[in-house]
């Protein structure tokens, strides 16, 4: 495509003649020489009939060219254009997004901004027509519009931010992928016969490093949204994502996921194909990958459909994106039996980036240009690229064990909070009461753990603290990511398995010798003490590894 574009741009006359020759060749190949009658199963005539192909004739081909044009190709009179516009129109079919939104949607709180911009354009147009210099007035209006836009977006309510995240002109995954990468190649299929267009995967190159890109893809109009299923993946979409995440783990590609979905598709067909199993499989497998995973929410992040590709070491969110366990409309319908309470549900769900960072769910807010990404998409792409590369560099050189431990600790710390039932508003008294009887306060009273429960909780807390302390202060990571199975990375485990296999082989050999001795009338003199010592040494090595 690139070579043809350059050819048309540099030599339009030669391109027109060459493409006319291509059209002639296509028709000539369509006529073809005679090869006898066509078999019934390959007949291009009506069903049940066979028809012999006509012999090759230049006159017949010329007459066919004069009477009809091949489908999906421009007419000869269009091919004579000097700029090759028709050729660009032909190549437009291969664009990732073939149709753009015909008109820009305007949200309610954006109407004053749009009206002010319209007035500025009218003033500039009148001044140009009449030759009047009103540059100072235009600068004043532009400064006023900029300040009004800044104040408007600084005071957005959660429901308004949700509207921005769902804006039809907001950049999609393919828009971002094709603008922040040096090269992007899309990959298809889940290797089980299906390919979900709602979830796009591909290998990308940024800063001379290969990445595996995985993201939800929405459409810009009704036709594209139907094709992409409004960004709601089927089970085969998540299986496709898992296939390429495993490929990235095998070849050492960092995984970058872009979340933009209202949730996984909840139709009958999706349930029949195992939607829950597909999501659960992704959740389990993503914690075992030995390469860094960075996830960024670019629009909506809804429920398990977002989490199925969002179990990452670092979770980023764009300034006007949202992340929720259930859509506000669904939450309002469940709790208040009415979708009119969606605004109240939006505030209660804490779905905005500031709330999510405060809760420890998200790690960073990626800024957007003034007026949000849907008004200036090209201004939003550099910030996304910079954030992704910066967080990726934090994991360069880390070992597989450290990467997996970092991912585990990130999710282990989400949702840690302290809660009291205060009697009479006295917080200090409640804390003292909690220290006297540790446990969980409920309406039925205080639950105090048993000694066994207390020892188990203390053991888990100590192990968690030791693991966290072991990761502090390691600025330089010497070991590259490995492709060995995670279970073999445990110290002492390999030695124990080898010792156990050797002991079992010795036991089998001794048993065979004993059977042979009994048959010949001899007693079995096997060394049972040495066998027990081998097993005990292997078990001791494993116990020491667990203690470490």
Concatenate the DSSP letters of all residues of 180-207 into one string: H-SEEEEE---SSS---TTEEEEEEEET
Residue with more model confidence, 170 or 470: 170
Query: Among 40-44, 375-379, 500-504, 527-531, where is mean pLDDT lowest?
Result: 40-44
Element (H, E) at 228: helix 222-228
Q: Quick check: is 318 in a domain?
A: yes
- Domain end, chosen from 364, 390, 412, is at 412
Q: Quick check: is 454 in a domain?
A: no
Q: What is the C-alpha separation between 28 and 22, in angstroms, rounded?
A: 10
Same domain? For 332 and 227 the reply is: yes
Q: Quick check: is 451 in a domain?
A: no
Same domain? For 202 and 83 the reply is: no
Q: In this predicted structure, what is the pLDDT of residue 471?
A: 62
Q: Following DSSP, what letter does each residue of 446-499 receive, concatenated?
A: EE---HHHHHHHHHHHHHHHHHHHHTTT-----SPP--S-GGGGSTTHHHHHHH
Q: Quick check: is 84 in a domain?
A: yes
> Considering its fold, how many domains does the chain have in total?
3
Range of the domain at 306: 164-412
Q: Quick check: is 147 in a domain?
A: no
Q: In this predicted structure, what is the pLDDT of residue 417?
A: 62
Same domain? For 393 and 509 the reply is: no
Q: In this predicted structure, what is the pLDDT of residue 118?
A: 83
Quick one: 234 exposed, middle or buried, by C-beta within 10 A (0-12, 13-18, 19+)? buried
SS3 108: helix
Q: What is the C-alpha separation between 456 and 451, in angstroms, rounded?
A: 9
Q: Quick check: is 418 in a domain?
A: no
Same domain? For 216 and 322 the reply is: yes
- Domain end, chosen from 385, 412, 439, is at 412
Asked if 287 and 266 touch (Cβ cutoff 8 Å), the reply is: no
Query: Among 69-83, 250-264, 390-404, 468-482, where is mean pLDDT lowest?
Result: 69-83
Element (H, E) at 174: helix 173-180
Query: Among 7-21, 226-240, 430-444, 493-507, where is mean pLDDT lowest?
Result: 7-21
Same domain? For 227 and 320 the reply is: yes
- Domain end, chosen from 351, 381, 412, is at 412
Beta-ladder partners of 354: none
Element (H, E) at 294: strand 293-302
Residues 6+ apart with CB under 8 A from 368: 318, 319, 320, 379, 380, 383
SS3 152: helix
Q: Quick check: is 128 in a domain?
A: no
Same domain? For 215 and 347 the reply is: yes
Rg (CA), the chain: 33
Q: Quick check: is 25 in a domain?
A: yes
SS3 351: coil
What is the mean pLDDT of the segment spanning 22-45? 41
């Amino acid at each position: 495509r690139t070579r043809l574009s350059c050819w048309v741009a540099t030599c339009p006359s030669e391109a027109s003649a060459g493409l006319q020759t291509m059209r002639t060749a296509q028709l000539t190949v369509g006529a073809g020489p005679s090869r006898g009658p066509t078999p019934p199963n390959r007949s291009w005539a009506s069903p049940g009939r066979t028809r012999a192909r006509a012999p090759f004739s230049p006159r017949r081909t010329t007459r066919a060219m004069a009477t009809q044009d091949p489908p999906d190709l421009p007419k000869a009179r269009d091919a004579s254009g000097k700029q090759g516009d028709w050729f660009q129109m032909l190549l437009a079919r291969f664009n990732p997004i073939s149709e753009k939104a015909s008109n820009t949607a305007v949200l309610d709180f954006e109407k004053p901004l749009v009206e002010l911009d319209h007035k500025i354009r009218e003033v500039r147009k009148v001044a140009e027509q009449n030759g009047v210099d009103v540059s100072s007035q235009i600068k004043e209006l532009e400064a006023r519009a900029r300040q009004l836009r800044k104040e408007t977006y600084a005071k957005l309510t959660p429901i308004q931010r949700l509207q921005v995240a769902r804006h039809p002109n907001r950049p999609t995954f393919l828009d971002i992928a094709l603008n922040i990468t040096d090269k992007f190649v899309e990959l298809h299929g889940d290797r089980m016969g299906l390919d979900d267009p709602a979830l796009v995967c591909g290998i990308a190159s940024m800063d001379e490093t290969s990445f595996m890109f995985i993201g939800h893809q929405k459409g810009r109009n009704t036709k594209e949204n139907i094709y992409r299923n409004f960004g709601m993946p089927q089970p085969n979409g998540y299986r496709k994502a898992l296939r390429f995440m495993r490929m990235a783990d095998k070849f050492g590609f960092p995984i970058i996921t872009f979340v933009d979905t209202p949730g996984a598709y909840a139709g009958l067909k999706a349930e029949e194909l195992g939607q829950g199993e597909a999501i659960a499989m992704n959740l389990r497998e993503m914690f075992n990958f030995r390469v860094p995973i960075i996830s960024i929410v670019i629009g909506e992040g809804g429920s398990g459909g977002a989490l199925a590709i969002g179990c990452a070491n670092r979770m980023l969110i764009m300034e006007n994106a949202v992340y929720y366990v259930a859509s506000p409309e669904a939450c309002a319908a469940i709790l208040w039996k009415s979708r009119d309470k969606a605004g109240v549900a939006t505030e209660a769900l804490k779905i905005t980036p500031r709330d999510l960072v405060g809760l420890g769910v998200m790690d960073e807010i990626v800024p957007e240009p003034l007026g949000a990404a849907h008004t200036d998409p090209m201004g939003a792409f550099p910030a996304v690229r910079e954030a992704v590369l910066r967080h990726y560099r934090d994991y360069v050189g880390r070992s597989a064990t450290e990467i997996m431990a970092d991912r585990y600790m990130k999710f282990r710390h989400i949702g840690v909070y302290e809660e009291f039932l205060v009697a009479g508003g006295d917080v200090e008294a409640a804390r003292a009461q909690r220290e006297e009887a540790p446990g969980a306060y409920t309406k039925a009273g205080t639950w105090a753990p048993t000694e066994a429960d207390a020892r188990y909780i203390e053991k888990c807390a100590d192990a968690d603290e030791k693991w966290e302390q072991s990761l502090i202060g390691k600025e330089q990571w010497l070991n590259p990511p490995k492709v060995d199975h995670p279970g073999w990375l445990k110290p002492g485990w390999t030695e124990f398995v080898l010792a156990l296999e050797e002991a079992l082989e010795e036991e089998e050999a001794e048993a065979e010798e004993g059977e042979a001795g009994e048959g010949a009338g001899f007693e079995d003199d096997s060394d049972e003490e040495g066998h027990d010592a081998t097993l005990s040494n292997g078990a001791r090595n494993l116990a020491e590894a667990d203690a470490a």
